[in-house]
Amino acid sequence: MPVRALARVNVGAIERNVARLVREASPAAVCAVVKADGYGHGMLPTARAALAGGATTLAVATAEEARALRAGLPDARILLLGAVSDEELPAALEAGAEISAWSLELVEALAAAGRPVRVHVKLDSGLGRLGTRDEEEATAVADAVAAADHLELAGAWTHFATADERGDGFLAEQLARFKAWAEPLRARHPGIVLHAANSAATLRDPATHLDLVRCGIAIYGLDPFGEDAAERDLEPALELVSYVAAVKPAAPGESAGYGRRFVAQKETLLATVPIGYGDGYRRGLSNNAEALLHGRRIQLVGTVSMDNVTFDVGAAGLGPKVGDDVVLLGAQGAAGVTAEDLARRLQTINYEITCGISVRVPRRHHRDGEAVEG
């Protein structure tokens, strides 16, 4: 019997996407963002592939992610992008992560820990989230890091609010504000690394590259602008597959699924596929998604339930059989369903599609078809 539901992840694709971003960003270096379990792709295999593709640094959001990454990659440079609470600090330090800071309190806590730590000072140049908006405070934090025993001022950074909205002028404003603060800082602390760009900025504007770009979505072969990843020479790494668990005829008037939201208008065949919102295949796709069977598109009918979903497989010549593979995300022959397609239907972004694939779905990693360690 086929596996009930499976996310197949091609680390070869991740490696090639990273290599493509390395070429794009050069001479800036590439930091691969592998937080949230590698955007649902599996953090460690993603991180290994990113390093193989030429990334110099890996970024995570939490101390726990840094700990898990360090356990698998003893020598990697790990940058912790997120806020670190007192409770999380010991784990972050134990992981040897480079820490983001924007307050003197955190610098004091880091200095008090008495161990070597690289620190990246964060300016909020307009996203309005983490970091200080106050350039003087950011400079004071940087100088305090540089003056502290054990601490090294390794970088200065910011994060863009609108990099994925082409034509918007705010990116340039943020960049100008960041550079006006960070360049004089670097003149006083030579060797610090300036970084700002995410995937969208990296692909949209070389002026944002500075010394290092932090790419997440594009390393997974997903399009940062929600458009066609292939047009940007990015290769989606993840496929979500399940199988036909049951096939039954439906006569006019017969329904499928909770709430009877699909009622057959004519004789057809329905296939039940054992995947649902418990797997992260969202209920919002009810009556509004396509999948692939035998390389052809099939229409989702009725309500997505927790563990099952139904497709109309009555098209002439399709010949559905129990056990046949169904591709919910990915390609079969020339046909494909992309995370961008599903995101558009759900009025969300491709990030949420892969991050949302739940822990119930095993990830199986391969390099262009050859199994690799998970």
Ligand X SMILES: Cc1ncc(COP(=O)(O)O)c(C=O)c1O
User: Which are the catalytic amino acids?
Assistant: 35, 258
Near ligand X in 147-206, by CB under 6 A: 159, 198-200
Nearest residue to ligand X, by Cβ distance, number only: 216
Q: How far is the CB of 39 from ligand X (least distance, A)?
A: 7
Instruction: Give 122's strand partners.
Output: 157
Residue 217 found at the interface with ligand X (CB under 6 A):
yes
**What is the C-alpha separation between 59 and 182, in angstroms, rounded?**
21
- Rounded CA-CA distance 119/138 in Å is 12
| Contact status: 354 vs ligand X (CB under 6 A) | no
Bridge partners, 120 (sequence order): 100, 155
> By C-beta, is 59 or 145 nearer to ligand X?
59
Tokens of 119: 């620190």
SS3 call for 327:
strand
Residue 126 lies near ligand X (rule: CB under 6 A): no
Q: Phi/psi zone of residue 367: left (φ > 0), alpha (ψ -120 to 50 degrees), beta?
A: beta
User: Any contact of residue 215 with ligand X (CB under 6 A)?
Assistant: yes
Nearer to ligand X, 83 or 292 (CB): 83
Q: How many residues bind ligand X (CB under 6 A)?
A: 12
Please give the angle made by the CA atoms of 269, 238 and 369, to the nearest 5 degrees: 95
Separation between Cα atoms, residue 252 and residue 261, nearest integer Å: 14
The CA angle 281-285-287, to the nearest 5 degrees, is 135
Residue 120 lies near ligand X (rule: CB under 6 A): no
**Cα–Cα distances in angstroms (integers) from residue 255 to residues 103, 237, 269, in the given order:** 60, 36, 12
Q: Judged by CB under 6 A, which of 216, 236, 257, 302 binds ligand X?
A: 216
In this complex, which beta carbon is closest to ligand X, that of residue 162 or of residue 303?
Answer: 162
Q: How far is the CB of 302 from ligand X (least distance, A)?
A: 34
Instruction: Spell out, one character per residue from 21 to 50, where the chain touches ligand X: x when CB under 6 A holds, - when not.
Output: ------------x-----------------
Residue span 71-90 as binding mask against ligand X, x where in contact by CB under 6 A, dash where not: ----------x---------
Interface contacts to ligand X, rule CB under 6 A: 33, 81, 159, 198-200, 214-218, 224
